[in-house]
Amino acid sequence: MRMNADIGVIGLAVMGQNLILNMNDNGYKVVAYNRTTAKVDQFLEGPAKGTNIVGAHSLAQLVAQLSVPRKVMLMVRAGTVVDDFIQALLPLLDEGDIIIDGGNSNFPDSNRRMTELAEHGIHFVGTGVSGGELGARFGPSLMPGGAAAAWPALKPIFQSIAAKTDAGEPCCDWVGAAGSGHFVKMVHNGIEYGDMQLICECYQFMQAGLGLNAAQMQQVFSDWNDSELNSYLIEITADILAVKDDDGAPLLDKILDTAGQKGTGKWTGINALDLGIPLTLISEAVFARCLSALKDQRQQAQQLFGADISAVSGDRAEWLEALRQALLAAKIISYAQGFMLMREASEQNHWDLNFGNVAMMWRGGCIIRSAFLGNIRDAFESDPQLPFLGLDPYFKQILQQSLPAWRKVAAKAIESGIPMPCMTAALSFLDGYLCGRLPANLLQAQRDYFGAHTYERVDRPRGEFFHTDWTGSGGDVASTTYDA
Ligand code: 6PG
């Protein structure tokens, strides 16, 4: 029997336990540790019984059982708990050892941790782990980034426990330097927010607009899952619609309509604002959750306005096909915006992200896994520098074909009072992106009028700035020209 374990995992909540069991299934010997050590014993006596998994009652015991270079993976709550464990591990580790953070950490924290640990000769890896508890148990999507020197030691473990594409490729590859792994996981979660909100908007259109019941909607989502929309989130939506409460009514109808959020969608929006990327769909999805949380206010306002959603008349099957096309088109915009954000972050941070690989890592195992990601991978493989996914021939054709249906759905939603913030924001974005001349000339004139902020001219080279004394009573002095 081998005395030295391949990897130590700290944190025995559901994700930690399932990752350990997954590693064990793949032939790796794992040492499990949890701050409340009773949990270690419960795990060893419970799910880990009869496996090669061993336990530790202290960090020193954990580290003592590891082969060199020691690999310690933290599966604990993001934030200060991660820093606390890193501090506690530091005196126990040697140069060349590896600390992995598998939580949903904010990527600037991973940047900082990598730099701090490098000063001690320790390699830090921040990895996205997606797929929920079942993913962790049977094949998650893993997005590791940080100290590249750690990758050769981690690669066999990570790629064997990861989900596999239909072609057998692991949904895990090296993402890039510093916090890039956690950045990519953050964008994954932002896209997850967008996909979920788009599905919710279609659900409301079907239920409140078209008057479909749960069984009918379950059928629609099942049918959609056999189309280009095939994805985990569409599949679970159909499943959810089939679940009944004790009284036989759909359980979904009994669930309070206020959404929670743990922050990764918000971070995605904040980063988009910081980097100047028009990430409109994901941002709307975050705000839709915020609006949903204002339950009391919404109920009062509905009464005060006597507001109600109007029924959508017309051929139901035609509307459902229009809705399907609108959903697909809006989803393309969401992913296009997400990849624009990653592209900008990659450039600014010199991460050199490989977008085809990112799509491949998301192809299986994770919450946004879908057939569609295979097409995204193809798009970036044929043009690694693709600035906007909608310019790829496959996606361009879908967008062009779907536009009439998409406009019809968006217009009907607005007319009927059905809130579709993501569906309509995506359409406005595309209309803006396809507009060679936007009204920003007027905006620049307004800025120059009241603040002498200057403007560029269509008949002069870029980079030359002009100021006009619009009222005849202003001065000649322009404000400094800079962009945030
Ligand atoms: C995943 C999920 C996972 C978690 C989300 C939930 O990839 O497995 O994204 O990370 O379920 O963080 O996020 P909210 O609580 O913000 O919806």
Q: Give residue 189 CA to ligand 1 midpoint distance, Å.
A: 6
Domain 7-178: state its class: alpha beta
pLDDT of 211 higher than 90: yes
Q: Which of 367, 368, 369 to mutate to test the pocket of ligand 1 (most atoms within 8 A of CB)?
A: 367
Beta-strand relationship, 141-146 and 71-74:
unpaired
67-116 pLDDT, tens digit each: 999 999 999 999 999 999 999 999 999 999 999 999 999 999 999 999 99
d(CA 386, ligand 1 centre) in Å: 28
Specify the residue with its C-alpha closest to ligand 1, atom 10: 130
The residue behind tokens 């800025």 is 447
Ligand 1 atom at minimal distance to the Cα of residue 140: 8
* Residue 3 pLDDT grade (very low, low, confident, very high; cuts 50, 70, 90): low
Highest CATH level, class, for 443-484:
mainly alpha
Please state whether beta strands 141-146 and 123-130 pair in parallel, antiparallel, or not at all (unpaired): antiparallel
Can you tell me the distance from the alpha carbon of 304 to that of 59, in angstroms, rounded to the nearest whole number? 60
| Residue pair 51/29 in contact by the 8 Å Cβ criterion | no
Q: What distance in Å separates the CA atoms of residue 380 and residue 385, rounded to the nearest whole number?
A: 7
Structure tokens that stand for 141 in this block? 């999507």
The residue contributing the CA closest to ligand 1 atom 6 is 262
Rounded mean pLDDT of 349-378?
Answer: 96
- % pLDDT > 70, the chain: 99
pLDDT tens readout for residues 117-146: 999 999 999 999 999 999 999 999 999 999
pLDDT at res. 484 = 78
Helix (H) or strand (E) holding 30: strand 30-33
Band of the pLDDT at 475, cuts 50, 70, 90? confident
| Domain ranges across the chain | 7-178, 186-433, 443-484
Q: Exactly one of 29, 39, 185, 331 is catalytic; name it.
A: 185
pLDDT of residue 1: 38
- The tokens for 481 are 């020209």
Known catalytic residue at 185: yes
Does residue 483 surpass a pLDDT of 90? no
**Taking 70 as the threshold, does the pLDDT of residue 303 lie above it?**
yes
CATH architecture of the region 186-433: Orthogonal Bundle (1.10)
Amino acid at the residue 277: I
Give the atom of ligand 1 at the shortest distance from the alpha carbon of 131. 8
How much of the chain exceeds pLDDT 90, in percent?
96
**C-beta atoms surrounding 68 within 10 Å:** 10
> Counting atoms of ligand 1 from 1, which one is nearest the CA of 262?
16
Q: Judge residue 327's burial from the number of C-beta atoms within 10 Å of its C-beta, 0-12 exposed, 13-18 middle, 19 or more buried.
A: buried
Task: Kindly tell me if the per-residue pLDDT of 2 is higher than 70.
Answer: no
**The 3-state secondary structure of 416-428, one letter per residue:** HCCCCHHHHHHHH
Strand 98-101, strand 7-10: pairing: unpaired
Which one is predicted more confidently, 65 or 481?
Answer: 65
CA 371 to ligand 1 centroid distance, Å: 20
